[in-house]
Amino acid sequence: MENLPRFTAAAVQASPVYLDAAATVDKAVSLIHEAAGNGASLIVFPEVFVPGYPYWNWTMNPVQGSPWFERLQRSSVDVPGPHVDTLRAAARQAGATIVIGVNERAAHSLGVLYNTLLTIGADGELLGVHRKLVPTWAEKLTWTGGDGSSLRVHRTRIGPLGVLACGENTNTLARFTLLAQGELVHAASYIALPVAPEDYDMADAIALRTAAHSFEGKVYSVVACSTISPEIVEQIAGDDPDVRKLLARPRSALSGIFGPDGRPVTEPLVDDEGIVYAEIDLAKCIQPKQMHDIVGHYNRFDIFRLQVDNRPRSPLTLTAVEGDEPAPATLKEEA
């Protein structure tokens, strides 16, 4: 690692075109080209940016929210699929590494959606599909948890890159798993959360988590959070003044770039739409690691051991019996 990368990172803070995957992907492509035009080689988008976050889980009971789940399922993303292809093409055209959150439909069940982070290389290759391990609180009404197979650090042009979604950045063992694979750049994607308890400041929470990971691991963190547009308020709240007031709560979003000392490299953006840019110089991770390297000399691996099951999990395992006719690879559709 003689020549550690030095580059510009961009953290996108924006709203989706709510529950419209195609229009949101178009918006993402426009933002990719804007950020790349300003010199960004890494562009990080919010959690489930395509096509948005299920706020109804927090404002309605499960019966009222069920039709909204169907709307989300119908406008979610297939991986692989045409929306992913569009994002891959945009990354290739921009020459930038992209991290973007999507609602991913499962191939095997209409009832399964994943909160997924896509990592796309600057050449357009789909490097990673990370499914959020544990949906947070009310999110369990919408998403199925992923498995450990996607807890991987990707070797990219901008350095060793790892990603986690929102509350996963509170999970010490998940973060350590990435750090122990040599992560130097961490992408953290969030959603604006005005529906949290009254004493919960989401902007402060995001900053605290991001600073903690950067300081503990001596890495750079790029954190991107969504915003809540008037369109989202209109759809979710309707004529309910209490829900309207709730969704308008300030300090619900924060995006920015944090350095290996745990401090913001530049002023974070709170609540408003925009893109935060900052220069990242991975050589600045070296000296801090001499003091505290929790995946190296500042640990006791004779005492502590983390075992991660990174096997992909499938709902079905078929075991062939000798003499059985093999099942057809595909089923023909009826004419």
- For residue 325, pLDDT over 90 is answered with no
- Domain of 221: which CATH number? 3.60.110.10
Which of the four pLDDT bands, split at 50, 70 and 90, describes residue 327? low
- For residue 223, pLDDT over 90 is answered with yes
Task: Please report whether residue 322 resides in a domain.
Answer: no
**pLDDT digits 0-9 by tens, 116-162:** 999 999 999 999 999 999 999 999 999 999 999 999 999 999 999 99
The structure's pTM equals 0.94
Outline where DSSP puts E strands in the chain. 6-13, 40-44, 97-105, 113-120, 126-131, 154-156, 159-165, 185-190, 220-225, 254-258, 269-270, 274-281
Task: Please report whether residue 122 resides in a domain.
Answer: yes
Task: Please report whether residue 311 resides in a domain.
Answer: no
Which of the four pLDDT bands, split at 50, 70 and 90, describes residue 181? very high
Give CA–CA dist 159/153, Å, rounded. Answer: 10
At 149, give phi and psi (nearest 5°): -65, -20
Task: Please report whether residue 1 resides in a domain.
Answer: no
What is the pLDDT, as a whole number, of residue 329? 52
User: Which comes out higher in pLDDT, residue 30 or 318?
Assistant: 30
* Mean local confidence (pLDDT), 318-327: 71
Task: Please report whether residue 143 resides in a domain.
Answer: yes
* Mean local confidence (pLDDT), 57-84: 98
Using alpha carbons only, give the angle 220, 222, 224 rounded to the nearest 5 degrees: 165
Task: Please report whether residue 82 resides in a domain.
Answer: yes
Domain count, the chain: 1
Task: Please report whether residue 248 resides in a domain.
Answer: yes
Q: Could you give the residue numbers annotated as active site?
A: 47, 132, 166
Give CA–CA dist 141/144, Å, rounded. Answer: 9
What is the pLDDT, as a whole number, of residue 264? 98
Domain around 190 = 6-291
* Mean local confidence (pLDDT), 229-249: 97
Task: Please report whether residue 133 resides in a domain.
Answer: yes
Other CB atoms within 10 Å distance of the CB of residue 30: 11
What is the pLDDT, as a whole number, of residue 335? 41
* Mean local confidence (pLDDT), 316-328: 73
- For residue 236, pLDDT over 70 is answered with yes
Which of the four pLDDT bands, split at 50, 70 and 90, describes residue 334? very low
What is the pLDDT, as a whole number, of residue 333? 46
Q: Which of 50-54, 96-100, 124-128, 315-319 has the lowest mean pLDDT?
A: 315-319
Q: Scanning the structure block, which residue is given the tokens 């961009």?
A: 10
